[in-house]
Structure 1
Amino acid sequence: MKRFLAVFFFLFFLVVSAQTKVGGIVLDESGDPIAFANIIFKNSSEGTITNDNGRFYLESDETYDTIKVSFIGYDSKEIELPQKVNYGMEVVLVESTEQLQEVVVYTGKQSKKDNPAIDILRKIWAKKRENGVRMFKQYEYDKYEKIEFDLNTIDSALIQSKLFKGLEFMFDDLDTSRITGKTYLPFFLNEHFSKIYGDNSIDKEKEDVLGNKSSGFEGNQSITAFVEDLYSDYNIYDNYLRFFDKSFTSPLSKTGIDTYNYVLSDSTFIDNKWCYNIIYYPRRKNELTFKGDFWVNDTTFAIKKINMQVTKSANINWVKEIYIEQDFEVVSDSVFLLKRDYMLSDFAFSKKEKSRGVYGKRTTVFDNYKFNTNHPEEFYKSESDPYDPRVFARDSTFWKNARLETLNDDESGIFKLLDTLKTVPKFRTYYDIVSILGSGYVEIDKWNLDIGDIYSTFGYNDAEGIRLRGGARTYFGQNDPWRLEGYMAYGFSDRKFKHGFSGKFLLDRKSRLIVSGGNRRDIEQLGISLTSTNDVLGRSIASSSLVTVGSNNRLTNINLSTLNFEMEPVKNFRISLGGSFRTLSSALPDAFNLDYVDLESPTGISSEVKQFDLNTTLIYTPGKRTIGYGVERVNINDDHSTLVLNYTKGISGFLESDFDYERIQFSYRQPWQIGGYGRLTSSVELGKTFGEVPLSLLSVIPGNQTLFSLYNVFPNLDFYEFVTDTYATVHLEHNFNGRLFSRIPLLRKLNLREIVGLRGAWGQLSDENIALSAPSNIPLMAPEDQIYWEYSFGVGNIFKILRIDFNFRGNYLDNPDARPFGITGTFGFNF
């Protein structure tokens, strides 16, 4: 009976959810698919174009009885629609017998001076629009955002599979996508309503969040953050549009005529304004481009409508479809306002037509624009609290008025469906498995405890041999005001237990005043970072690497205790004040010791350092976005710069501390999106230590003896090969995202990505510090005479998950056991 009802509802929704639906394939006379053919409902501005495989899907809330199919070089064809829903259509276009001028102009490399579409494009550039809200001193408007996730490509085989046995009721209400024509089942929905206020004269903007409603799953903020990070704001008039951490060439870009083919297809009235329809599609495959069309006004040359669909050949992983729609209200010749922004992404392991996946959809609607309403500057400083419990408890009357776009019946049923699903043990099991793989922790709800993380369970190094670790943390919810965390570990070679535990407490939510502290007794590879570790739980990958290059025996016993206060007086500006006490000694003294001259020692030499430090750190991350208000927040973007200024004061005598010194350090890291040529990541670090300190407290130029590609280290340096008290380093890494390989026919289909890197380090080590650490059994030298440098070439996206780097050493090849060449790699799931 349930199966019958599911089929009944499925057929019912096919008929009533939209008035007209068509789907199929466009072929030529030889049976080959025609990509980028134009499909349009006759006597309308509603249309689409075929994908790379000639397939199309189009639907409308209106009733139409004819579609028009056209492509340059072929005779246009009008096809009557016998019913409201028409799937599996096969349209054959016949090559035109007339030698039309368009065939000469638009095929292959287009003539830029004779193509009317290019002439219109140039006029769009000449009157490039700035968003209308920037044309007034002050502005305000309502913003409604809806984020939804759907399971797609649902068929009877999936419904009847063992995977969903007992969960068949989920499929009682299915709908079809108006973009792809696939059946889908919503399983997550978040609604967000806010008012935006801005003042261009003082460059201030604030958002008052008035309502937030979601499906209710734990971790929904993380899901929302994931979508917000992927679907960042964009302006179609920009030359490049950033999605999924990649830059796509905009069809309105001034470089577009070298990237796209443009065709003037049609013209008609839209909202009483005469508009031209221009179809565009990419000149080459495998580049980050779109296909689609836009409607542009004939006098203002402002875009009225645009749709953009990423081509299947684009070098992007795990995403089968990306579809974007924007609608604009043209107020005057100089003002246009965005009314609706819709984006759909089809996440799937394969780009094959029948592969199943998950839709991620974001719909944003803007309305009730008002201009030149003045507010005092203090108004913009008083930000609303987006996590006020009242925001999440709005009633149905509020949402009825707040929704600038009403929910359809399918979306309205999501909340009820998810409430039911949470009571089904099998679904909860699936949810737990995904949660464990994503977070690395096993949730024990009845104890409010997470066990993990599971990815740190097993390790190996020369001092401990095989190492096992287990840990846990408190977890009442994603906005916990406090959190306790700890671990225990055991090494089977040294037969010693290690531990680490920490606590964090949010004392004031507004200023984000946090007190934290803890203790760690463990073995650590310290030569992998220029800054001393104050993390009582973290552990570098070099400390537990299964495979290393050369002897990885320069490990350190560390007993670290910390107490720290942190606050954020201004958004994205953090101040940290704290103290730490550490005891350091070699874990393998026969191979690597930390001995230093100590006149108070009976032997004149000590092998252990006890050190108390006071530390002040300023961290500025302009543009960083986070969600949550608990003691641990979630970052939702990584395209911001990071500036860090750190001052350390070592105090001798206190708690038997050994050395008195000062250290100042500065670092600046910045990602750069270089148009359509990929992403450059740059970082600079500077530091100087004042006073005499032994080897264990000096600044080591970070080496890398693992087989993993790590940013901000030197892969051809051994640990402790260069030791400094004054240093400067630069790291540059550029990922072309396949821009170059896409031009090579034999490599094009592999979707590989090319990465190049350049690194340099300069440093000094004073004679006094060399003398102090003279008893050490490793050579002490700094790259003072000439800057040490390396370069690398990498190939990424191998099998979609693997990156391999070929690293070359530029100089200091005479150093003992110098490695002139090395290969490193890393695994990862990147778009």
Structure 2
Amino acid sequence: MLLFVLSYSQTKVKGVVYDELDRPVDSVRISFKGTSISTLSSERGKFMLSSEEEHSTLVVTYEKKHLVREIPLDRRVNRNIEIRLNSEKSLQEITLIGKPKKKLSKKENPAYKILQGIWKNKERNDIHSLGSYDYRRYTSINMGLNNMDSVLAKKILGDDYKTLRKVLIKDDQEEEKIAIPVFMNELTERIYGKKNKERIDTEGERKSGLNEVGRGFGVERFSQVFNEINPYDDDIRILDKSFVSPLSSRGYGVYQYALKDSISEGGHMVYTIHFFPINSGDLLFQGRFKVVDGIFAVTDIWMKTTRQINMSLVRDFSVEKHYTEVKDDFYLPGKSQYEGNFTLFSKRKDEMGVYVKKEINEYEYLMDQPHDDAFYQQKIVQTKSDQFEKSDEYWKTSSGASEDTEETLKIIQGLRANKKISRVSNIITIASTGYVDLFKGLQTGSVWKTISSNNIEGLRLRMGFRTYKTEDDKLRFNFYGAYGVDDQKFKYGIEGIYLLSSQPRIVLGASHLRDNLQLASRLISPSDLLPKSSNSSSLIRRGENYYLSNVMRNTINFDWALNNNLHINLSAVHQQIESADPKLFSMNYTLPNSSEIQSKLNDFATNISLTYTPGRNVYGYGVEQKFGKLPYPTFMLKYTRGYKGVLNSDFNYNKLQLLIKENFFLSNFGVLNASIELGKTFNTVPLPLLSPITADQSLSVVPNSFALLNYYNFTTDTYMMGHFEHHFNGFILNRIPLIKKLKWRSLIFYRLAYGSISQNNIDINKSSVNYIAPNNTVYSEYGFGIENIGYGNIRPFRVDFVWRSTMGEFSGLVPPSFGVRFGFKPGF
């Protein structure tokens, strides 16, 4: 009982001190009346005060002006106190802000009319409403480790600790914490726009990191956390999630709004509106914005996710944007700051984690000075990483960078020689890439593919190598070797790719492969070089996996990028395919108009594919580019032509395939991932050249495959497959009492397959597979899943419950009618 009383009596106060321009004010003393418990506001204006006793009055003192003010406290925990000072540094306003206990109707809430004004004037306040515009933009992305305990920091940093302590102590913590920057990327641009045309010229770029830029700390994943954020949009995309904007026309259904302030500035009334998520677990923000009456333009907005948000590995996201009046009654973005904090175990503010901070400064706006249309069509294409390098003097005088940038860069450069920091960086590099440096220029990996198993090889051991000097290597070789304990055979693959031209971007590649592959689970791919993932083996599986093909394949590949997201790929492939174990799995066939049985296929074919990926984030200037983690649509058309007689090839044939993948973001209702694949083989061919419906016999969740089918249950020469999976992102489970505390997220899915097989292909089949196609009834799988399963802030697990439709006939064993599948994918 005593412990309960002490907990109940504790008083906590937390807030920020601002001036009349919403700038933070330091050195303001905050104390509980009648006690010596006090604190000073930090350089960012933040303060936090707590006591084990119950207090009802807060004393605010600005000693420089001999100013004292008392504030009554009406609750034990006060998390969002705002204290404002006017230009004479006197106390102007003190606001205790908490989530309203009752949501007001639209008629009762004065904030609703202001929101209506924002929606009505959204297009008027958009930069594209101008006849023309021209401005400069500076962007910096800073990544590192934060909330490092001072004791640990001293052990790791040694003599570097004192330098860090002066610059990067987190000032809103009761206990001293250290942030260590490990990577910074800066970019300066000039933007020109007119109506629906826009030209962006890169002027300067600078990168700095503890190790080779782009490798450590998951830079390729984390540095792309934030795209440009426009609060006027209905939805805000961060990572692969969609947040409802507080300025959205749908916002009143998911937020509570409270009008807290209205003052006169420059002849206009300026309103301050606070907003709170109705359901704190949803993908929403909490914060405030200021809006000018009449034109209903937002001048400032601050928003941050709550601690209860249903995201894994994320502690919080924050967005701060300040708008500047570029001409009478027209406001455009000035300075913006986005920050993401990522932790492994909990969302506690003091847990050590990774931060990503993006700062944007948009300035020197020029209006109504248009160029001719041809000007906006010109583009400066970046073809190498150092193309826009500038002198240090440029960055000091012309970039628009903040004052802290140079100090941060000095810290990064100074820490490069710190061996302990380098070890931490290397460990995270291995975890994120799977590759380990053997010596300069050569790596081994991926460590995640080392061990697997199947019924032919038994335990399969694999080791891979790749040449690697920098991210921008123009030439790269990949090699792997694999050994099966049961079949005692060595398999291997080798590949070389070379960047022939940067503009236009042309990549030449060649590969040689001798390995066992599972052709009944292959997916359409633009390239026929080494497969990027092994589909022949898994450690945990159901049923038997004897249906492996032994493949010898030589490939020459030519890839031409019309732009970063539009590629034409040409390849020539010569391959020999036979069963990996003819005693257990036969792939026999007869040639047309012949009764002689063949067991090995000789095939020579050419492929041409067109791939379009609008909106995909592409970066890197070497032979291998990397892609951002934000979802993007894919459209792929592939044509394959087989040539009988060329290199003893056995068949003439034509095959056409089409893939469409799209992600539909449905605001707070989640995201629907959809894909459709169509294909047709126009001539008579044996089993290795047909199109089995993609099956998967592992117990894992495998995208774009059918979890309950056995290999070669269905074989087609004409097919259609569809996969539809909707992730609710917590929309349903966040609303169920008790269940919502688990932070689970639900999903539903539906998969279908339809196809046919010609009589000519059936007639030449002499294999152990009986050709059955789902041509009378659509085969389908459906079910639901639970994801975001785990503990604390790490929730990588997923469980799917799968059912299938009733079918009359299958080739081989009848697949189960129900199954449970497990997924492991660290994500957000």
TM-score (norm 1): 0.86
- Residue in structure 1 matched with residue 789 of structure 2 by the alignment: 798
Structure 2 unmatched runs, 5+:
26-37, 77-95
State the Cα deviation string for residues 163-192 of structure 1 (Å, max 9, x = none).
556764664434344676873334234243
Please, which of 683, 708, 728 is the counterpart of residue 700 of structure 2?
708
CA drift at 1:494: 1.0
* Pair 667,779 (structure 1): closer, same or farther in 2 beyond 3 Å: same
State the Cα deviation string for residues 610-651 of structure 1 (Å, max 9, x = none).
100011111111112211111101112432211111000000
After the TM superposition, which residues 98-497 of structure 1 pair with which residues of structure 2 at under 5 Å, given as runs?
A: 106-129=100-123, 132-161=126-155, 168=161, 171-177=164-170, 183-201=177-195, 203-215=197-209, 217-220=211-214, 225-269=220-264, 273-331=268-326, 335-349=330-344, 350-386=346-382, 391=387, 393-408=389-404, 411-446=405-440, 448-497=441-490
Whole-Å separation in 1 of the counterparts to 2:735 and 2:45: 44
- Residue in structure 2 matched with residue 568 of structure 1 by the alignment: 561
Question: Is the CA contact 1:534–1:562 (under 8 Å) kept in the aligned structure 2?
Answer: no
Question: Is the CA contact 1:209–1:384 (under 8 Å) kept in the aligned structure 2?
Answer: no
Q: Is 1:819–2:811 an aligned residue pair?
A: no
Q: Is 1:777–2:768 an aligned residue pair?
A: yes
Whole-Å separation in 2 of the counterparts to 1:647 and 1:516: 19
CA drift at 1:549: 1.3
Whole-Å separation in 2 of the counterparts to 1:526 and 1:148: 44
Q: Which moved more, 1:715-724 or 1:522-531?
A: 522-531
Whole-Å separation in 1 of the counterparts to 2:761 and 2:42: 77
- Residue in structure 2 matched with residue 664 of structure 1 by the alignment: 656
Q: Counterpart of 2:229 in 1: which secondary structure?
A: coil
State the Cα deviation string for residues 43-64 of structure 1 (Å, max 9, x = none).
664589xxxxxxx999676999
Question: Is the CA contact 2:746–2:786 (under 8 Å) kept in the aligned structure 1?
Answer: yes
Whole-Å separation in 1 of the counterparts to 2:666 and 2:740: 21
Q: Counterpart of 1:808 in 2: which secondary structure?
A: strand
Please, which of 625, 640, 650 is the counterpart of residue 632 of structure 2?
640
* Pair 244,178 (structure 1): closer, same or farther in 2 beyond 3 Å: farther
CA drift at 1:421: 2.6
- Aligned length, in residue pairs: 776
CA drift at 1:607: 0.9
After the TM superposition, which residues 759-770 of structure 1 pair with which residues of structure 2 at under 5 Å, given as runs?
A: 759-770=751-762
- Residue in structure 2 matched with residue 829 of structure 1 by the alignment: 826
Please, which of 748, 770, 776 is the counterpart of residue 756 of structure 1?
748
Q: Is 1:682–2:682 an aligned residue pair?
A: no
CA drift at 1:438: 1.2
Question: Is the CA contact 1:813–1:819 (under 8 Å) kept in the aligned structure 2?
Answer: no
Structure 1 unmatched runs, 5+:
1-26, 49-55, 96-101
CA drift at 1:83: 8.9
CA drift at 1:418: 3.0
* Pair 439,296 (structure 1): closer, same or farther in 2 beyond 3 Å: same
State the Cα deviation string for residues 542-581 of structure 1 (Å, max 9, x = none).
4121121111111110111100111112442111111001
Q: Counterpart of 1:328 in 2: which secondary structure?
A: strand
Q: Is 1:504–2:504 an aligned residue pair?
A: no
Q: Is 1:744–2:736 an aligned residue pair?
A: yes
State the Cα deviation string for residues 115-158 of structure 1 (Å, max 9, x = none).
22222222222222455420223322111011112432233332
CA drift at 1:383: 2.3
Counterpart of 1:519, as a letter, is: H
After superposition, the CA RMSD in angstroms is 3.4
CA drift at 1:202: 5.0
* Pair 382,104 (structure 1): closer, same or farther in 2 beyond 3 Å: closer
Q: Counterpart of 1:594 in 2: which secondary structure?
A: coil
Q: Is 1:79–2:60 an aligned residue pair?
A: yes
| Identity across the alignment (%) | 30
Whole-Å separation in 1 of the counterparts to 2:197 and 2:677: 32
Q: Counterpart of 2:738 in 1: which secondary structure?
A: helix
CA drift at 1:304: 0.9
Counterpart of 2:392, as a letter, is: S
Q: Counterpart of 1:125 in 2: which secondary structure?
A: helix
Whole-Å separation in 2 of the counterparts to 1:33 and 1:644: 61
Whole-Å separation in 1 of the counterparts to 2:271 and 2:6: 27
* Pair 542,166 (structure 1): closer, same or farther in 2 beyond 3 Å: farther
Question: Is the CA contact 2:416–2:422 (under 8 Å) kept in the aligned structure 1?
Answer: yes
CA drift at 1:585: 0.7
State the Cα deviation string for residues 303-333 of structure 1 (Å, max 9, x = none).
1111001001011121212211100123467
* Pair 532,158 (structure 1): closer, same or farther in 2 beyond 3 Å: closer
Question: Is the CA contact 1:208–1:383 (under 8 Å) kept in the aligned structure 2?
Answer: no
- Residue in structure 2 matched with residue 93 of structure 1 by the alignment: 74
Whole-Å separation in 2 of the counterparts to 1:183 and 1:496: 55
- Residue in structure 1 matched with residue 587 of structure 2 by the alignment: 594
State the Cα deviation string for residues 440-470 of structure 1 (Å, max 9, x = none).
1112343x11111211211211111111111
CA drift at 1:195: 2.8
Whole-Å separation in 2 of the counterparts to 1:131 and 1:198: 18
* Pair 511,43 (structure 1): closer, same or farther in 2 beyond 3 Å: closer
* Pair 593,740 (structure 1): closer, same or farther in 2 beyond 3 Å: same
Counterpart of 1:274, as a letter, is: M
Counterpart of 1:226, as a letter, is: R
State the Cα deviation string for residues 92-124 of structure 1 (Å, max 9, x = none).
4359xxxxxx99995223232112222222222
* Pair 376,188 (structure 1): closer, same or farther in 2 beyond 3 Å: farther
Q: Counterpart of 2:675 in 1: which secondary structure?
A: strand
Q: Counterpart of 2:498 in 1: which secondary structure?
A: strand
Counterpart of 1:651, as a letter, is: Y
State the Cα deviation string for residues 706-725 of structure 1 (Å, max 9, x = none).
11111111111111111101
Q: Which moved more, 1:346-355 or 1:535-544?
A: 535-544
* Pair 592,208 (structure 1): closer, same or farther in 2 beyond 3 Å: same
Whole-Å separation in 2 of the counterparts to 1:369 and 1:454: 51
Whole-Å separation in 1 of the counterparts to 2:40 and 2:226: 24
Q: Counterpart of 1:307 in 2: which secondary structure?
A: strand
Whole-Å separation in 1 of the counterparts to 2:702 and 2:48: 55
Question: Is the CA contact 2:208–2:413 (under 8 Å) kept in the aligned structure 1?
Answer: no
* Pair 687,624 (structure 1): closer, same or farther in 2 beyond 3 Å: same
Question: Is the CA contact 2:210–2:415 (under 8 Å) kept in the aligned structure 1?
Answer: no
Counterpart of 1:782, as a letter, is: A
* Pair 568,103 (structure 1): closer, same or farther in 2 beyond 3 Å: closer
Please, which of 716, 740, 743 is the counterpart of residue 724 of structure 1?
716
